[in-house]
């Protein structure tokens, strides 16, 4: 399974096709694209966006969730090579 986290952190404006070539399937209430190889997923309804400096905090209400690969081992930040700076 490819690690795509680095390719999904860009804004939609700068990377409009960020899921191109990634296998997805429709799931949940609104048919939201879910990564086919994900262990699980959560679909949310947008409740509000809140300005926070140069970021925007998105507040959502969970409307659906699913577990796709029961018993599979989750990829951690450390295994993916990411580190928190602090």
Question: Model confidence over 6-28: pLDDT tens digits?
Answer: 455 555 566 667 778 889 888 87
Average the pLDDT over 55-62 and give the result.
96
Please, which pLDDT band fits residue 29 given cuts at 50, 70 and 90?
confident
C-alpha closest to that of 37 among 56, 19, 51: 19
Between the alpha carbon of residue 22 and those of residues 19, 25, 71, 86, the distances in Å are 5, 10, 23, 32
Q: 7 or 62: whose pLDDT is higher?
A: 62
pTM of the model: 0.60
Average the pLDDT over 38-60 and give the result.
94
Is the pLDDT score of 1 beyond 50? Answer: no
Q: 12 or 74: whose pLDDT is higher?
A: 74
């Amino acid at each position: 399974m490819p690690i795509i986290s680095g390719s999904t952190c860009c804004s939609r404006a700068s990377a409009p096709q960020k899921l191109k070539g990634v296998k997805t399937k429709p799931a949940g209430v609104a048919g939201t694209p879910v990564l086919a190889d994900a262990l699980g997923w959560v679909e949310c309804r947008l409740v509000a966006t809140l300005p926070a400096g140069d970021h925007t905090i998105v507040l959502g209400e969970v409307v659906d969730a699913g577990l796709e690969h029961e018993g599979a081992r989750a990829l951690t930040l450390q295994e993916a090579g990411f580190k928190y700076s602090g």
